[in-house]
Amino acid sequence: MSSPSAGAASALWRAALGGPSLLGTDPVPVQDAAGRVTAGPVLARLSAPAVPCSAMDGIAVTAADTASGSVAAGCFEVVDTGDPLPPGRDAVVMREHLRRRPDGTVTLPGPVPAGQHVRPVGESVRAGAELVAAGRVLRPADLAAAATGGHRTLDVRRRPVVTIVPTGDEVRPLGSDLAPGELLDTNSIMLAATLRTWGADVRVTAIQPDVPDRISDTVGTAARSCDLVLVLAGSSAGRDDHTAGVVRGLGAVVVHGVAMRPGHPVLLGVLQDGGSVPVVGVPGYPAAAALAVELFALPLLADLQGRCPERRPSVAARLCSAVPSRPGVEEYVLVALPGDGTAVPLARGAGSQTALSRADAVLRIDAGCAGHEDGETVVVQPVERPGWAGAGPVVEHDGRLAV
């Protein structure tokens, strides 16, 4: 049986999960809400400014009194930027444009129109206006707008909790002195950083040996207190690959193997111990691991938080070398962008950690395409976050992966 495309695999997984429910909400002080996702639209509770204010240092005047190009003493008030406009005044003349006469009269550059250098009510924020849309990842400017609109706290989605379970007899924690054949657990570092950029509260367990019962106990415990479990390595079909068996014992395997490169051995399942908790069996090779999380875990986290879809930037670049591809497999190729309009394909091995760190963009090759020729102009998506970060969330559209 052929493996499904990434888009089809995602659709099957989501159907088995019954559609992830939105996470609950937390009230968070405005100043601490950067990077959180709004649970609903943020509406201004008050207008700013609440009364007409001076936009300049100078004098407040009544426009009708300035037809002669001057105002007499007692017919104006000195104001500074931000001062409420005195009653009866409807314009401001900048200080540097004034000339004072000995009798107290002030000469102006000419007649002054009503509203000159005056900030009207609600110029910055108007009561009732939408300041931030629901599902927005809050930016610094959003926080300032919310505070200006009278908010001290904001209702945001709870951070999704993701547990990473690294496995493998040969895998050692950071700082270990490695014996021949041993590897550092760098995938946990990379993937945890990726997940945190999407607002997740990430927990990493101790490295589990290739013992099914040990892995099962750890995964089952994690499922009872998190929203997503990632099991690192063990998703292939080797003698020490136990992820599929563990997931079947705790729930169900929905997809095992996807028609994509790298990352073909990815496993998508459901853990019943925690009440239909999604689980991803992540391939052990770094590039494959990063892509699997980019295509399946990150879109799920976005949906749990109700995040608005993101528009992915893309740029055209000319390939510096041919990029052949096997038809029937959706392929993702990391490229460097030297800045001269070209794209340099990087090492395509699933284990290439160096290519991940050097990549500036990602080239996606459709399953029906045999690749691209040297010198061909292609469209690539710049890398913006850790990992692949340009492959984009999986969106099912006419049976193809839309990015």
pLDDT of residue 347: 85
CATH number 3.40.50.170 is the correct assignment for the domain at 28-48+123-157 = no
Alpha-carbon span 225 to 69, nearest angstrom: 74
Query: What's the mean pLDDT in 385-399?
Result: 44
Does residue 350 surpass a pLDDT of 60? no
CATH number 2.40.340.10 is the correct assignment for the domain at 315-401 = yes
Neighbours of 52 (CB within 10 A): 19
List of residues 6+ apart from 157 with CB closer than 8 A: 22, 23, 24, 25, 26, 36, 37, 38, 39, 199, 304, 305, 306
pLDDT tens-place string over residues 186-204: 999 999 999 999 999 999 9
Task: Using CB atoms within 10 Å of the CB of residue 27, give its burial: 0 to 12 exposed, 13 to 18 middle, 19+ buried.
Answer: exposed
Average pLDDT, the chain: 91
Secondary structure class of 364 (helix, strand, coil): strand
- 28-48+123-157 and 53-119, same CATH topology: no
DSSP string, 210-272: S-HHHHHHHHHHHHTT-SEEEEES--SSSTT--HHHHHHHHEEEEEE--SEES-TT-EEEEES
pLDDT band at 400 (very low <50, low <70, confident <90, very high): very low
Does residue 397 surpass a pLDDT of 50? no
pLDDT of residue 1: 61
Cα-atom radius of gyration of the chain, to the nearest Å?
30
Does residue 357 surpass a pLDDT of 70? yes
Neighbours of 141 (CB within 10 A): 9
Spell out a b/e string for 360-371, using b for 16 or more CB atoms within 10 Å of the CB, else e.
bbbbbbebeeee
- The helix (run of H) or strand (run of E) holding residue 370 is none
Phi (first) and psi of residue 282, to 5 degrees? -95, 130
* CATH architecture of the domain with residue range 53-119: Beta Complex (2.170)
Does residue 388 surpass a pLDDT of 60? no
**Domain ranges (residues) in the chain:** 6-25+158-305, 28-48+123-157, 53-119, 315-401
- Letter for the amino acid at 257? G
Nearest by Cα to 83 from 56, 110, 61: 56
Alpha-carbon span 42 to 133, nearest angstrom: 6
pLDDT band at 356 (very low <50, low <70, confident <90, very high): confident
- The helix (run of H) or strand (run of E) holding residue 111 is none
pLDDT of residue 241: 78
pLDDT of residue 141: 97
pLDDT of residue 403: 28
pTM greater than the 0.75 cutoff: yes
pLDDT tens-place string over residues 125-151: 999 999 999 999 999 999 999 999 999
pLDDT of residue 395: 37
pLDDT tens-place string over residues 59-116: 999 999 999 999 999 999 999 999 999 999 999 999 999 999 999 999 999 999 999 9
pLDDT band at 303 (very low <50, low <70, confident <90, very high): very high
pLDDT band at 254 (very low <50, low <70, confident <90, very high): very high
* Strand pairing report for 323-324 and 315-319: unpaired
CATH number 3.10.105.10 is the correct assignment for the domain at 6-25+158-305 = no
